[in-house]
Amino acid sequence: MPSRPPPIALTIAGSDSSGGAGIQADLKTFSALGVYGASVIAALTAQNTQGVTAIHDVPDAFITAQMDAVFADLKVAAVKIGMLSRPGAIRAVAAGLVRHAPPAVVLDPVMVAASGARLLSDDALSTLREELLPLADVITPNLPEAATLLGTDPAADEAQMEDQGRRLIALGAKAVLMKGGHGSGSESVDLLVTPEDTTRFAAPRHATRNTHGTGCTLSSAIAAGLAGGTDLPTAIARAKSYITGAIAAADTLEVGSGHGPVHHFFALWRQ
């Protein structure tokens, strides 16, 4: 019997010329997890493991054209949204989601690169919060991103993480995965906050500076799981396991001299 075709996931994000984050990380993640990846490029960045040196924005109309082309022909089962740096780009993506109504949407509110470079303009923040956040099935902010969305200080413990997650739901989010990678302790703890309950996901914390693309990779792994038909908690649990393995193997890549990428193919590239 012929095998079933893989599910299709779409990433809408910025391009990373060094290959560790953004569109490139998303497509690598989809491939590693058995999902066919399509892409809509919202911005191009000139960057490497040491930082971002330039950003070239894609015109809003061309973002729309890319989305319409993909949805007109491909059966997209899940969408992951990453770096959108301008209000116009955010509105173009939001309008496309309303127009095409994909089954699942994962929003990673990318604001700052691992190198510390700011990727989201101030005037885009309110647009993302008001127009795009309510269209996502789950948003995946790290602690600084959640604090920026709420205009407050980053959460210092799990109780504050849960509280901020609930405040983001009050703003219109359907579910919030509060990522604890910026926290401390021997475990990296993420909290899935929904209107009904809170679910804790923990994994050992690995000491490495090679964490470029971790947020992109986790959110695209969640989208891959949703595209394959799993429920949200299961998709998050599997994505958490995947990113933990990718971080643990990151030092074996030896890419660049700054914040290197995680190892997306750690389970496939046997040493």
Contact between 38 and 73 (Cβ < 8 Å) = no
Element (H, E) at 221: helix 214-227
How far out from the chain centre does Cα 68 lie? 21
Closest CA to 81 of 150, 7, 131, 117: 131
Contact between 139 and 218 (Cβ < 8 Å) = no
Of the listed 20, 37, 216, 225, which one is catalytic? 216
Tell me, yes or no, if 214 is annotated catalytic: yes
- How is residue 251 written in tokens? 């030092």
Give 133's DSSP letter.
G
Tell me, yes or no, if 140 is annotated catalytic: no
Tell me, yes or no, if 179 is annotated catalytic: yes
Of the listed 29, 179, 240, 260, which one is catalytic? 179
The secondary structure of 139-154, three-state, reads ECCEHHHHHHHHCCCC
Tell me, yes or no, if 240 is annotated catalytic: no
Of the listed 96, 213, 225, 228, which one is catalytic? 213
Tell me, yes or no, if 211 is annotated catalytic: yes
- How is residue 111 written in tokens? 């604001």
Give bridge partners of residue 10 from the DSSP assignment: 38, 79
Of the listed 11, 127, 148, 211, which one is catalytic? 211
CB under 8 A, 24+ apart: contacts of 21-24: 21/113, 21/114, 21/212, 21/213, 21/215, 21/216, 21/261, 22/82, 22/83, 22/213, 22/216, 23/82
Say how far apart CA 206 and CA 13 lie, in whole Å: 27
Tell me, yes or no, if 19 is annotated catalytic: no
Q: Are strands 51-57 and 78-81 parallel, antiparallel or unpaired?
A: unpaired
Of the listed 214, 225, 240, 244, which one is catalytic? 214
Say how far apart CA 67 and CA 65 lie, in whole Å: 6
Residues noted as catalytic: 179, 211, 213-216
